[in-house]
Structure 1
Amino acid sequence: MKHDTVPLHGAQEAEIRVPTRRALAKQQTRAKVLAAARRLFSEEGYEGATIRDIAAAAGMSTGAVFANFADKSDLFREIMLVDMASLAEVMREAAHRGRTVDDCLLKAFCAGYAFYKSQLPLARAAFSISWTPDQGPELRNMAPVLALHDLITEQLLAGVERGELSQEAEVKLRTQMLFDCYLANYPEAIFLGWSIDALQAKAKDQIRVILAGARRG
């Protein structure tokens, strides 16, 4: 019995398209370069890690690196994009375990600090360029960073809905203040060796003070 065959078109064809050997090789090259760059940025800092060193650590030529990334800043941005996306997810999951607005925010902040506690050299490299005029604005406006703003806003709005915060809580302003405090605590962990407990105690006070004028009653 002969069966009719239905040709695949458009999205159906794209779904079953198998990557070519060349495409797979390119993916593997990018992965090797990113792994080598992550290690060297952690060990040498952003300025200390050169494209030549990254290429050597990845076991390839500088030409192979430039075939996949425009320059060193492009490499670092890619690493930060992956890290910040993971960070945003970790903080969101932590916030969902909280009960009150203060608790949700504190759990999210502490999850963020714990995320980078194991890779402080890389965080140090990120902070070294986060306020530079050429790369800083782009890093601060990456989608995962903006997602952290959204996460704080969501927790404040949930606090309003639960009746913990007043309807006139000035959510936008307090979101920015809380986010600024969250970031401001990182240098104490990175450069002064503060423990998670110390960061948690400070963040708890910051959240309490910032939300003090927004509480109902």
Structure 2
Amino acid sequence: MTDTVVVAAATTETESKPRVNRRQVAKARTRIKVLEAARNLFAERGYDAATIRDIAKGAGMSTGAVFANFQDKAELFEAVFSDEMAALSEAFTAGVAIEASTSARLAGGLAAGYHQVLDHLPLMQAMVARSWFQPEDSDKRVREFLAPVITTISEVLQAGIAKGELRQDADVALLSRMVWDIYLSNLRRAAFDNWGIEELTPHAAKQMDVVVAGQLAK
């Protein structure tokens, strides 16, 4: 009797695993659909005008399915932001991975960043706009999403100091933020002056030359 119970339990456990895995896969697929629909709607309408109902409709599911994956619209927006920043961080990392001067490496990072976002610039605009009005706790999490990009910039500057290109007392934290602020400010050129990668790349290169020139080792 005991052996029968053990075998039956083992069989039940084995049979339940595929069902659990299928549920997990289905939930993951639902989450991806919701994120993609939200991403498109935030880009089209901005944060305030995008509703959970319309996001659910865009994903082809009920609002209940959205709330099964995200607590509210703010959490959904943060998830979209997190994904975008992760992709942007990868682009920056690839862009600076060249054997060149500090200025050229920074310019390479910015150019790669522009390649990453220009095809969905309205979404970046929505993110920047939302960042001015989100609650303090949300702002802290957004800064955490941005941290890998800032770290990549900092590492380039630190490498420049180690190679003797930049002053030993260069304020890496300040310079890193300045480079990021320049990156964002140039997106206004893309949004309002119709600048593409052909205009942004040389412009960013000149800006990085100016930034680095003020920190050259003597």
**What TM-score bracket applies, with the shorter chain setting the length?**
0.7 to 0.9
Which position in structure 1 is the counterpart of 2:157? 156
Contact 1:41 1:122 in 2 (8 A): yes
- Partner residue in 2 for 1:108: 109
**Who is 1:96 aligned against?**
97
Q: 1:183: how far off? A: 1.8
Q: 1:98 to 1:193 in 2, by over 3 A?
A: farther
- Per-residue deviation, residues 156-210 of structure 1 (Å, max 9, x unmatched): 1111111111212222222222222122222221233222232223322322222
| Cross-structure match for 2:144 | 142
Q: Indicate conservation of the 8 Å contact 2:153/2:176, yes or no.
A: yes
In the alignment, the residues of structure 1 paired with residue 57 and residue 180 of structure 2 have an alpha-carbon distance, to the nearest angstrom, of 38
> Per-residue deviation at 1:81?
0.9
| 1:187–1:77 Cα change, 3 Å | same
What's the TM-score, normalizing by structure 1? 0.84
Q: Is the 8 A contact 2:104 2:208 kept in 1?
A: no
**Higher RCO (C-alpha under 8 Å, 6+ residues apart):** 2
Per the alignment, do residues 56 and 133 of structure 1 end up closer, same or farther by CA in structure 2, a change over 3 Å counting? closer
8 Å contact from structure 2 (residues 34, 56) kept in 1: yes
**Equivalent residue runs for 1:118-197 within 5 Å:** 118-134=119-135, 137-138=139-140, 140-143=142-145, 145-197=146-198
**How far off is 1:139 after superposition?**
5.4
* Partners of 2:91 and 2:134 in 1: CA distance: 29
TM-score (structure 2 length as normaliser) = 0.84
Structure 1 position 105, deviation (Å): 0.2
Judged with a 3 Å threshold, the aligned counterparts in structure 2 of structure 1 residues 55 and 126 are, in CA distance, closer, same or farther, namely same
Q: Distance in 2 between the 1:38 and 1:70 partners?
A: 17
Give the Cα separation in 1 of the matches to 2:22 and 2:170. 56
Question: Aligned pair count?
Answer: 200
Contact 1:123 1:190 in 2 (8 A): no
Measure, in 2, the Cα distance between the counterparts of 1:180 and 1:21: 44
Cα displacement string for residues 31-87 of structure 1 (whole angstroms, at most 9, x for unaligned residues): 221121122222222222211111112222111211110111111111111121111
Gaps of 5+ in 1: 1-16
User: How far did 1:129 drift?
Assistant: 0.4
Gaps of 5+ in 2: 1-16
Q: CA RMSD in A?
A: 1.9
Q: 1:188 to 1:98 in 2, by over 3 A?
A: farther
C-alpha distance in 2 between matches for 1:81 and 1:147: 11
Counterpart code for 1:70: Q
